[in-house]
Amino acid sequence: MRTTTLRFWFVQIMSLATLILFLSLGTWQMGRGNVKSDIEKASEQDDVGYMEVRLPLENLVDWRYKKIKLTGVYDSSKQFLLDNQVRNRATGYNVLTPLYINDQSAWVLVDRGWIPQTSGREQLPNVDVNSGNDFSVSGNVYVPYDKAYSLGGIADGEDHGWPRRIQFVDYQLLSDRLGVTLQPFTLRLDVNEKYGYQRDWTENNITSQKHYGYAFQWYAMALALVVLWWLYSIKPLFKNK
């Protein structure tokens, strides 16, 4: 009797864990589909051209992946290197440079692209940029979907010197380190703009519909599991009463 009871509860726990896993994977694929859908909609507007805007941007999420143009000056003395960025199996950094828009008294973080890691982590790459005069900067608005999360700190104990290596982007923490107030988005520099590095902003070639299809499959598997769970584990309990 004891063995039967243990087996019953083992099945319940494993079924519940599997159900949570299937639902989580389905929800994750739905989120990826929404992200890709936004990218696809933005790409359909490529012929619109870059818009000159006033900051701050209202209804920020509506600006996600939109093409804008800002005029400002880079602060080359205080830059961030976003760590653990991989391109073609090579590890490197995304170079994040503050841009000051004089006529709006606003600061925007510009992602100037990917640069490979040097031979040793102790030596950081030279990412100096012309910071003498105002010039026009064009790119796409990147608004994170989720709050930055990491098991460690933003700088993992390397919170000194410039450029500063960081593990994730948190606009408030980066603002504190710069001593300014950053706008809560990143401008991903257009591939035709100067002072940039490798820029391939498309995350992958999977369409939004494929992500939605994968989500449907996971949700369908979750539903099938619930049905089997009911038929072979829960329903027999009522028959035995």
237 pLDDT higher than 80 = no
For residues 188 and 200, what is the distance between their CA atoms, to the nearest angstrom?
10
| pLDDT of 106 strictly over 80 | yes
Alpha-carbon 66 to chain mean position: 16
Give the Cα separation of 68 and 112 in Å (integer).
15
Contacts of 211 (CB under 8 A, 6+ apart): 29, 30, 32, 33, 36
| pLDDT score of 70 | 95
Instruction: Calculate the dihedral angle through the C-alpha atoms of 48, 49, 52, 54, rounding to the nearest 10 degrees.
Output: 50
Contact of 97 with 76, CB cutoff 8 Å: yes
Regarding predicted confidence, which is higher, 21 or 201? 21
CA 48 from centre of chain = 25
pLDDT grade for 238, boundaries at 50, 70 and 90:
low
Higher-pLDDT residue of 167, 158:
167
The answer, as to whether pTM is greater than 0.85, is no
Percent of the chain with pLDDT over 70: 84
Cα–Cα separations (whole angstroms), residue 123 to 112, 118, 120: 20, 7, 6
The predicted-structure confidence for 205-219, as pLDDT tens digits, reads as follows 567 888 889 999 999
Domain boundaries, the chain: 2-35+214-239, 50-189
Which residue(s) pair with 92 in the sheet?
Answer: 85, 116
Residue type, 183: Q
What DSSP string describes the chain? -HHHHHHHHHHHHHHHHHHHHHHHHHHHHHHHHHHHHHHHHHHTTGGG-PEE--SSPSSGGGGTT-EEEEEEEE-TTS-EEEEEEEETTEEEEEEEEEEEEGGGTEEEEEEEEEEE--SSTTSPPP-----SS-EEEEEEEE--SS----SS-SSTT--SSSSEEESS--HHHHHHHHTS-EEEEEEEE-TTSSS--B------S--HHHHHHHHHHHHHHHHHHHHHHIIIIIHHHHHT-
Give pLDDT, residue 150.
Answer: 58
pLDDT tens per residue across span 188-197: 999 999 899 9
Q: What confidence category does residue 175 fall into, taking pLDDT thresholds of 50, 70 and 90?
A: very high
Query: Facing residues of 132 across strands?
Result: none
**Who wins on pLDDT, 233 or 140?**
140
Q: Cα–Cα distance between 26 and 22 in angstroms, integer?
A: 6
**pLDDT tens digits, residue range 46-100?**
556 788 899 999 989 888 888 999 999 999 999 999 998 988 889 999 999 999 9
pLDDT at residue 148 greater than cutoff 60: no
What value does the mean pLDDT take over residues 123-133?
Answer: 84
Return the pLDDT at 50.
Answer: 86
